[in-house]
Chain A
Amino acid sequence: MGRISNTLKRFAAGLTAVMLMVVSNAGVFTDPLASAAGQVADRSIKISDSRASNTGTSYLVTFTPFTTAGQSLVIDFCSNSPIIGSTCTAPAGFTAASASFTAGTGTTNWALGTLTANTVKVTKNTGANLGTTAVSFTLGGVTNPSATGTYYARIYTYADIAYGGGTPYTSATALGSYVDYGGFALSTSTAVSVTATIMETLTFCVSKVAPGNGCSGTTAPNLVLGHGSPLILDFTAIDSDGAYTQISSNAATGVAVNMKTTNTCTGLSRDAGVTCPIPGKGAFGTVAAGTAFFGLNVANGTGCIGSVTANVNYGTTAGSYGMGTNTTSTYGDTIQGSTSAVANVNSLLTFAATASTVTPAGVYTATEILIATGTF
């Protein structure tokens, strides 16, 4: 009887042991995540722009596979959950249907499979199987969700190029026989819109003496050409006098300075500008005493910031002068300018004249108007 009893006890104990073994291994049979599959590590999706509805967004996907030999993968983008296998609601406005693929680490020659608005398939194509070191690739041309806030992605890798072989992936709740998996959280947000205004500036002055910064210390630019006492022009000499311009401007593409005369002719007049017995020089060039002319030489400007250069019709060879016919036009003739913003740049303008032996006597004048124009 004792033997029977012991036998029964052993049977019961054995049954219990078997049950415990079954229980302890139950997950192996019921939980696919606990089989060969593993969670990918160090996974992230970096987006190039977080603004809602932003188009052309790049998504840099990085992860480290748990299982080697992955040959294809699927990414689902969901608005509700990153949990593998749960229902996936496509984020409103999100689309990766026209995404591009750029290989990264470990994904050379991989290529896109089929795409839907929120599902991206990638296969190894002619590339190598995934290892267990970090891999990456970029999905370009993605449109972000239309709402700001958190959204999710899920990734599954497969040991074949068919996204799960006999039971391939068909949806976020029918994943097929995947080997690795992982969830991501992403976030769209608004951007900080920053605006500021810088006023367009132009400070221009003409002075007999060189101006200080900010057109300080100017004097009236009244020039008298001649020699001797009193000052006279004659055929024996070329007489000159100078004045300065100073330009400061934040004009993006610079400042142009034009000169126009109040005379109807380009030279010096003794009849209120009707005629010019001492004519304008014309083209820039050398001059000789005794050949009546009125001309201008412009030196290149120097100063704090930037440079102002003479127009080729007025500079810069010393002793040469010019006076174009455009000085009688509505907007005058360009004599100098800059190609960028400048600050406190002074330029010397030298006016010169001489008379001939037949130049009529009289008081000759010309009022030259200088006009600075900035292009912002």
Chain B
Amino acid sequence: MSSWKQKNIRQAGRVAALGLFIFISLLVPAVARAAQSSSSNYQVNEVFFGVGGELHACGTAYCAKQSAGETGAGNTASPNYQAQAGFNTDRQPFLQLVVNTTNINLGVLTAGTTTTANATFSVKSYLSNGYAVTNAGTPPTNGSYTMNTLGSPTASAAASEQFGINVVRNQTSCATPAPVNFGADPVQVPSASFSFGAAATGYNTCGLFKYVNGDTIAASTKSSGQTDFTISYIFNTTSTTRGGSYSMSHVLVATATF
């Protein structure tokens, strides 16, 4: 009788202990989140499944993110939602625009001859719904005179005064032949599985050039790794194109929507 009673009390105790264990163990992740995020308030955070890594492994001097046995990584997306898979993803939104070519000196332009040039820039954006890179600079000016710009995608015409750009590879063999082979298509780094930037409409056709201040020239519709873009510039002048020095500060603005 006494033994039977003790047995039931022990069972009840085990149930209570199990509940207490669950209670404590469910509180632990919140502590872990705080350690990872290091903010004063709790945040919606990354979720970690599996045993092959640790997001916040710290010694006295250094911290590391670790992963092992990771089975899938990268961006996955539907039209409305996307997710970054992998143990070592970051929860901080990110946008980076790097212009690699800072100076282009075309020297003396010759009337009736097309002059070309290239500049490169890179963009990456993380945890965003995409980004847009826009022109934010007036076309080449010579004092108060502004070189004639192409307001819509137009083929190069050496006998006309023209300034325009595009963001693709131009070849003389294109449907609209480019004056020379120059430029490059956007390059996804490390691959098209992770990066999704593309030339924007109006600036994405071989042999056609345009320049409108404020136009979007490159974009991604979702979070993207690095995309390397090449801007192709054309200059055509005539005998009446105003003489003097032309200059342009081609400012690029990257805007991400989160």
Contact = CB atoms under 8 A, between A and B. Distances in A.
Interface of A: 1, 4-5, 8-9, 11-13, 15-17, 19-20, 22-23, 26-27, 30-34, 39, 42-51, 62, 81-86, 148-150, 152, 173, 182-201, 248-252, 305-306, 340-343, 376
Judged by DSSP, the binding face of B is: mixed
Contacts of A192: 99, 101-104, 119, 121, 231, 249-250, 252
Interface string B87-118: 00001111111110111111111010001010
Contacts of A149: 96
A50 B12 contact: no
A19 B5 contact: no
Contacts of B104: 192-195
A184 B237 CA distance: 43
Given A191-B102, A197-B244, 14 more contacts: A11-B12, A19-B23, A44-B257, A50-B251, A85-B40, A86-B38, A150-B94, A187-B97, A187-B254, A191-B252, A193-B250, A196-B109, A201-B243, A252-B243
B71 interface: no
B4 A1 contact: yes
B121 A33 contact: no
B258 A201 contact: no
A250 B239 contact: yes
B244 A376 contact: yes
Contacts of B126: 185
Contacts of B111: 198
B249 to A, nearest CB: 5
Given A42-B129, A198-B246, A251-B243, A185 B108 contact: no
B241 interface: yes
B38 to A, nearest CB: 7
Specify the main secondary structure of chain A where it touches its partner.
Answer: mixed
A191 B249 contact: yes
Contact of B42 (A4, A27, A43, A62): A27
B12 A23 contact: no
A173 B142 CA distance: 50
Interface stretch (B14-22, B52-60, B174-182, B197-205): B14-22
Contact of A12 (B15, B119, B235, B240): B15
A152 B256 CA distance: 11
B245 A195 contact: yes
Given A193-B103, A196-B235, A376 B121 contact: no
A196 B18 CA distance: 79
Given A43-B258, A250-B242, A197 B5 contact: no
Contacts of B244: 197-198, 200, 252, 376
Interface string B130-163: 0000101100101101000000000000000000
Nearest to B214: A48
Contacts of B47: none
A42 B95 contact: no
16 contacts: A20-B19, A23-B27, A42-B257, A51-B249, A83-B92, A85-B40, A86-B37, A185-B94, A185-B258, A189-B254, A192-B252, A193-B103, A194-B140, A197-B107, A197-B109, A252-B145
Given A184-B93, A250-B243, A5 B16 contact: no
Given A12-B15, A27-B42, A198-B108, A51 B251 contact: yes
A340 B241 CA distance: 10
Interface residues of B, number: 85
A83 B36 CA distance: 12
Contacts of A33: 41-44
B257 A20 contact: no
Nearest to B91: A83
B39 interface: yes
Looking at B13, B121, B145, B242, which has the most chain A CB atoms within 10 Å of its CB?
A: B242
A8 B17 CA distance: 13
B188 interface: no
Nearest to A305: B240
A183 B51 CA distance: 30
Nearest to A376: B243
B30 interface: yes
Contacts of A193: 102-104, 247-250
A13 B239 contact: no
Contact of A1 (B1, B245, B252): B1
A113 B57 CA distance: 42
Contacts of B106: 194-197
Contact of B105 (A13, A44, A62, A195): A195
Contacts of B63: none
B171 interface: no
9 closest A-B pairs (Cβ-Cβ)? A16-B19, A5-B8, A200-B243, A8-B12, A341-B240, A12-B15, A185-B95, A19-B23, A196-B106
Given A189-B97, A198-B142, A83 B43 contact: yes
Contacts of A198: 108-109, 111, 142, 237, 241-246
Contacts of B64: none
B39 A197 contact: no
Given A23-B23, A42-B257, A48-B136, A190 B243 contact: no
B61 interface: no
A190 B119 CA distance: 12
Contacts of B5: 1, 4-5
Contacts of B99: 189-192
A44 B256 contact: yes
Contacts of B98: 148, 189
B239 A191 contact: no
Contacts of B27: 23, 26
